[in-house]
Amino acid sequence: MRTQKAMTKMKLIKPSDFLAVFKFLIAKVLVVFSSKRTHNIVVCELNGKKNGNGWSFFSYAQGKEYDVAYVSSEDDNHIKFGSIEHWYQYLKCDMNVVTHKGASPCFPLVSVLRKLRLIDPNIMYIQHGLLLNELPHLKYQLTRFKALTFTKDYELRYFRDKLDYPESTLHKTGMCRFDRLHDISEGGRKIFIFPTYRHEIYFRKMNESSFKTTEFFNSWHSFLNSAGFVELIESNEIEVLFSVHPNLAGFLHLFENNYIKTIDPAQVNFDEVISTSSLLLTDYSSIFCDFDYLGKYSLFFQFDSETFFGNRNNIRKYDDEFVFSSSGEVTNSIMKYIDERKDTSILEQSSCYLTYEALRKIVGDQFNEKKI
């Protein structure tokens, strides 16, 4: 089993990962000998995409007491993702604010360097979604995060009691992207359909013919083309937007039909889609918490829960009222919730503010330690 997992991970190594070794060595020399400017805070999302909690936090933190920089994969004025500059800032800045454990100049190389204790950058982890399953790879002794943010109280208990995080490192902030959300869905009915990816599809690098044999494809494709669903959206003038997790973007075109609009996940303006949509249909994606924040309902089409969770312990609990295993049940529930709104508990202060205050505390403590 371990050999198979190792081989699967080896397939994900890219030529650029080997080039990263030379970039790291150059940056390491610069850290020792160069007086090059260093930012206090460097914010990075997975692969440098400007569409999540990191970008929201960076936008908020600009102009405040710390010099804050953003890492981007686009050709702009920010630090280029995976560049020598990225390596230099990652190693020398006071705090890396990341949305994923892998949000680093080169995750495979960084993992090895950190495991060997050759580098030990300061990292604050602002989660990009709600905790779903057990995550033993995020144990405190492995990550050594200086701070970690969460949204729900069950996450606090898990990180503290199961992954051994000191409670002083855990901060309830919500997600920074919440601050950009506003309910402007009145005047029309729109469903956003957004299933998450499956490990067995992504890590095996499936081709199209193999993907078409999966339960994932057949279940979603059948639902989107079912007579009941098509009749429902046409008779009620419901707009349907469909996208998939970025890890499955290469298969998006296989779901196209005349009744829905498919959107490349790299092009999705999630703030706009969430704000203008009336209802979410997903399977397990934590994007439901964004809809919940606005008091909108989410339906969960979980046709493969046994295989999806497998031997993993499901930490997040779903309300059975909104979980369905058949497409017919989903279709029959859409009109019940599409126009409804629920009471929701919003944090008294903005998520960006709470995250920034947590950052100030941990960075301030570090500065005090240096003075001592």
Within a domain: 166: yes
Domain count along the chain? 2
171 and 300 together in one domain? no
Q: Are residues 110 and 251 in the same domain?
A: no
Decide if 13 is inside a domain: no
Question: Looking at the domain assignment, is residue 224 inside a domain?
Answer: yes
51 and 121 assigned to the same domain: yes
> Same domain for 282 and 261?
yes
% of the chain beyond a pLDDT of 90: 61
DSSP line for 191-245: EEE-----HHHHTTT--HHHHTTSHHHHHHHHHHT-HHHHHHHHHTTEEEEE---
Instruction: Identify whether residues 240 and 333 lie together within a single domain.
Output: yes
Q: Are residues 309 and 355 in the same domain?
A: no
In a domain, 7, yes or no: no
> pLDDT by residue (tens digit) across 125-172?
999 888 877 888 899 999 999 999 998 899 999 999 999 999 999 999
Whether 324 and 245 share a structural domain: yes
Give the separation between CA 160 and CA 275, rounded to whole angstroms: 33
Both 200 and 285 in one domain: the answer is yes
E strand residue ranges, 104-188: 123-126, 147-150, 170-172
pLDDT tier, 35 (very low <50, low <70, confident <90, very high otherwise) = confident
The answer to whether residues 180 and 56 touch, using CB atoms and an 8 Å cutoff, is yes
Residue 7 tokens, joined: 């081989």
User: Residue 222 is part of a domain; what is its CATH number?
Assistant: 3.40.50.12580
Greater confidence (124 vs 349) lies with 124
Whether residue 11 lies inside any domain: the answer is: no
Asked, for residue 342, whether it belongs to a domain, the answer is: no
- Write out pLDDT tens, residues 38-88: 899 999 997 666 768 899 999 999 999 999 999 998 878 899 999 999 999
- Mark whether 220 and 362 lie in a shared domain: no
Q: pLDDT class for 311, splitting at 50, 70, 90?
A: low
Q: Please state, in angstroms and as integers, the Cα–Cα distance from residue 27 to each residue in 30, 71, 86, 322, following that order.
A: 5, 16, 9, 50
Helix/strand/coil percent split, the chain, to 5 = 45, 15, 40
Could you tell me if 299 and 314 lie in one domain? yes
- Same domain for 99 and 26? yes
Residue 366, domain CATH: 3.40.50.11820
pTM equals: 0.80
The boundaries of the domain holding residue 203 are 184-337
**Ramachandran assignment for 82, one of left (phi > 0), alpha (psi -120 to 50 degrees), beta (any other):** left
- 9 within a domain of the structure (yes/no): no
Query: 96 and 112, same structural domain?
Result: yes
Q: Is residue 93 part of a domain?
A: yes
